[in-house]
């Protein structure tokens, strides 16, 4: 059985270490916050907050406390607020240890595409280009294949890039890969997925 969304998020949470400042993207990456256990993790929201709390209780929403997905959230006892230039200063400056984000395509050289599809509506890259260029470690969490059943781990991205050579690790529903010299290295297979199945589902060069 491939991993489901929550299992992928739980696996991604294993990437986080005690004391880390971390930025989580929208979608499955958001679920990672549910699996950090006892680790002391501080979540950054790039609109200007460190120490992001849970959603508010009904009736306690504050229009001035939102995350980067424009959702109402809450603050914690450790929370700090700052402006957007300061926020991206800490991202670009490598102060954020890890970003976990989704992707449309990842190439074997670490190229990442997740912001536009030519011919389709372009909404913008938001902070994704800054994050992948700036944070110390980029972990991608995504389905292994697209809706047509084609590998999203490619020899080369076909879509416009969000960042070139920026991805360190990819966690899919089928397994875990590192981007290394020459291609991708299988780190782990999802429960019940064989290495042969993993290789067969992957277009990118696998070096081990």
Q: Does 83 bind other proteins (CB under 8 A)?
A: yes
Q: Does 128 bind other proteins (CB under 8 A)?
A: yes
- The residue among 42 and 72 lying less far from other proteins, judged by its C-beta, is 72
Q: Does 102 bind other proteins (CB under 8 A)?
A: no
> Which residues carry out catalysis?
46
- 77/57 Cα distance (integer angstroms): 17
- The residue among 67 and 172 lying less far from other proteins, judged by its C-beta, is 67
Q: Which of 64, 41, 63, 38 is nearest to 52 (CA)?
A: 41
Q: How far is the CB of 179 from other proteins (least distance, A)?
A: 15
Strand partners, 187: none
- 21/140 Cα distance (integer angstroms): 17
Q: How far is the CB of 56 from other proteins (least distance, A)?
A: 6
Q: How far is the CB of 174 from other proteins (least distance, A)?
A: 27
Q: How far is the CB of 166 from other proteins (least distance, A)?
A: 9
Q: Does 35 bind other proteins (CB under 8 A)?
A: no
Q: Does 92 bind other proteins (CB under 8 A)?
A: yes
Q: Does 130 bind other proteins (CB under 8 A)?
A: yes
- 156/112 Cα distance (integer angstroms): 10
Q: Does 163 bind other proteins (CB under 8 A)?
A: yes
Q: State how far the alpha carbon of 27 is from the alpha carbons of 8, 52, 89, 103, 158, in Å.
A: 11, 16, 25, 10, 22
Among 17, 34, 54, 208, binds other proteins (CB under 8 A): 54
DSSP annotation of 179 reads E
Neighbour-count burial for 66-83, b at 16+ CB within 10 Å, e otherwise? bbbeeeebeeeeebeeee
What contacts 151, CB < 8 A, 6 or more positions away? 144, 145, 201, 202, 203, 204
Q: Which stretch binds other proteins (CB under 8 A): 9-17, 44-52, 140-148, 196-204?
A: 44-52
Task: Give me the residues that bind other proteins (CB under 8 A), please.
Answer: 45-49, 54-67, 69-73, 75, 81-89, 91-92, 111, 121-130, 133-134, 160-165
């Amino acid at each position: 059985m491939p991993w489901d969304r929550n299992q992928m998020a739980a696996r991604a949470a294993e990437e986080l270490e005690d004391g880390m400042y971390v930025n989580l993207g929208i979608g499955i990456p958001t679920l990672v916050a549910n699996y950090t256990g006892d680790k002391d993790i501080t979540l950054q929201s790039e609109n200007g907050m460190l120490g992001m709390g849970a959603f508010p209780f009904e009736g306690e929403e504050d229009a001035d406390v939102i995350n980067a997905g424009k959702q109402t959230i809450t603050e914690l006892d450790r929370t700090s607020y700052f402006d957007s230039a300061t926020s991206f200063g800490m991202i670009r400056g490598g102060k954020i240890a890890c970003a976990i984000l989704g992707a449309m395509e990842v190439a074997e050289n670490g190229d990442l595409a997740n912001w536009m599809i030519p011919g389709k509506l372009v909404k913008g890259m938001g902070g994704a280009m800054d994050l992948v260029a700036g944070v110390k470690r980029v972990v991608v969490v995504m389905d292994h294949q697209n809706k047509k059943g084609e590998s999203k781990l490619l020899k080369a991205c076909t879509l416009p890039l969000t960042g070139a050579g920026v991805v360190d690790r990819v966690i899919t529903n089928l397994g875990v890969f590192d981007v290394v010299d020459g291609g991708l290295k299988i780190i782990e297979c999802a429960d019940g997925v064989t290495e042969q199945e993993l290789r067969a589902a992957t277009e990118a060069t696998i070096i081990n």
